[in-house]
Amino acid sequence: DRKKIYQINHLTIQNTLICPAVYLFVEKLQERLA
């Protein structure tokens, strides 16, 4: 599961270059998970 999360995060990081909104969304998600 941890590997899947890492892969998803890696893809999301690439997507943030395209869509800043995704970056903000991920930041909020990480705050909740942390």
Write down the pTM of the prediction.
0.39
What's the structural domain count of the chain?
Answer: 1
* Segments forming the whole domain that contains residue 22: 2-33
Q: What does the pLDDT look like over 1-34, one tens digit per residue?
A: 678 877 777 777 776 666 677 778 888 988 998 7
Q: What angle do CA 23, 27, 30 make, to 5 degrees?
A: 135
Identify the pLDDT of residue 21.
77
* In the block, residue with structure tokens 């270059």: 17
In this structure, which amino acid lies at residue 30?
A: Q
24: buried, middle or exposed (CB in 10 Å: 19+, 13-18, 0-12)? exposed
In this structure, which amino acid lies at residue 25?
A: F
